Amino acid sequence: MKSRRWRLALTAAMLAPLAAAATACASTAPTSGATGAASKSQFVIGYSQSNNAEPYRAQLNIQLQYFVKKYPNLKLLPITDAQQSSAKQVSQVQNFIAQHVDVLIISPNEPAPLAAAVQQACNAKIPVIILDRSVNNDCYTSFIGGDNVAAGKQAGDLAVKLLPNGGNVVELQGILSDQPQIDRDKGFREGIAANPNIHIVAQREAKWLKESATPIMQQWLAQYPKIDLVYSENDPMALGAYLAAAGAKRAGQIKFIGTDGLAIPDGGIRAVQQGQMAGTFIYPTCAEQAAQTAEAIVSGKPVQKTQTLQVTPVTPDNAASLYAQYDDSKFQS
């Protein structure tokens, strides 16, 4: 009898947090802005990064730390790295919620798995800023992202400009199911539609990787005697294709267009400057806008729900100055 009562009490004790969690989820409605937080002098920001090991995201981290420092009333907690695991990212976001940060910034790894975690943050009245990739939940305060369709479209426009008489184009794609891949491909096709004499003769998935692009380009060079332009959905693949073409002594006859435009020694801006690529497009990291938006939220200013940032075209003329403007080492302190 006694033991059964103990077991009952134990079960109840175990269930209590669950019940509390369940009611918490059901009761509160999402709110925006930091209500009643204006009296504090220091506001804490938590940032959940989906994967540190991508150069673009490494740059984002560095820039966010730099721009948050510009606002003395903001303090950035150590950035968490979900290492491409949505499950890991959910628990990291929940940790930030438990610490009750004043603003939560998330670069979601995938749209669906993060939806519930974002909802928990909204329920806890923590304003959420979503960066770059979408999440299947619109209770966030602001979404800041680049426009991948526009990035592809501008690349297509550049291709039309580079090939006034038309020509054969090959396209190197990222992982086929990735949204940036789908959008950039769509935009590029819209762009080159302006000249019906431009044909995409081949397209292959090189998984965003330089080392995968090289053998693919070598196969294309063997198959097609005339390739006029390579469109690559990121810079490393374009440079991998360039290596293959240079090795076959055909780089001079082919124009290369990339995307991303990272200002690192091994990045796309340098490659344009050195004449390896005809052009690339700086895909915005959104770090500066994220810091601005966080500051606006904590000081009670209105923020836009959706902020779409444009890509910056990199040409041989402006490459040097853009490199200086975006150079990573400038943001490191």
Partner 1 sequence: MSSRTTPASPGVLAPSEPPGRRSLRARLRGVLPVLGSLQGYIGLVLVIAAGMLTKGQVFWNQQNLTNAVGAFASRGILAVGETLVILTAGIDLSVGSLLGIASMVSALLLVHQNLNIYEIVPLCMVVGAFFGLANGAATALLRIQSFVVTLAMLNVVRGIDRMLSDNVSVGTQLINAQGQLTPRSAQFQVLGTPGHNVFTGLPLPFVGRAGIYYPVLALVVVVVVFQLLLSKSKFGRHIYAVGGNETAARLSGVNTTYVKIAVFMLAGLLAGFAGPIDAAYSASADPLAGSSYELDAIAAVVIGGASLAGGRGSIVGTLVGSLILTLLDNVLGLNAISDNAQLIIKGLIVILAVVIQRPDFFRALGPAVRRLGRLTRTRTGDPPGEVASGSPQPQSATPPLEESR
- Residues of this chain that interact with partner 1 (CB under 8 A) are 52-55, 57-59, 176, 202, 204-205, 209-211, 214-216, 218-219, 222-223, 236, 239-240, 243-244, 246-249, 264-266, 270, 274, 328
Separation between Cα atoms, residue 54 and residue 7, nearest integer Å = 50
| Residue with Cβ nearer partner 1 (101 or 206) | 206
Helix boundaries (H) for 125-178: 148-162
User: Cα dihedral sign for 298, 302, 304, 309?
Assistant: negative
Number of H helices, E strands in the chain: 12, 13
Give me the least distance between CB of 247 and partner 1, in Å please: 3
Token pair recorded at residue 96: 């930030």
The residue type at 143? F
| Residue with Cβ nearer partner 1 (195 or 203) | 203
DSSP notation for 230-275: EEESSHHHHHHHHHHHHHTT-GGG-EEE-SB---STTSHHHHHHTT
| Residue with Cβ nearer partner 1 (32 or 51) | 51
| Residue with Cβ nearer partner 1 (214 or 259) | 214
| Residue with Cβ nearer partner 1 (164 or 275) | 275
Give me the least distance between CB of 113 and partner 1, in Å please: 22
Separation between Cα atoms, residue 26 and residue 191, nearest integer Å = 47
Give me the least distance between CB of 264 and partner 1, in Å please: 5
In sequence order, the 6+-apart residues with CB closer than 8 A to the CB of 92 are 48, 80, 82
Give me the least distance between CB of 52 and partner 1, in Å please: 5
Give me the least distance between CB of 69 and partner 1, in Å please: 19
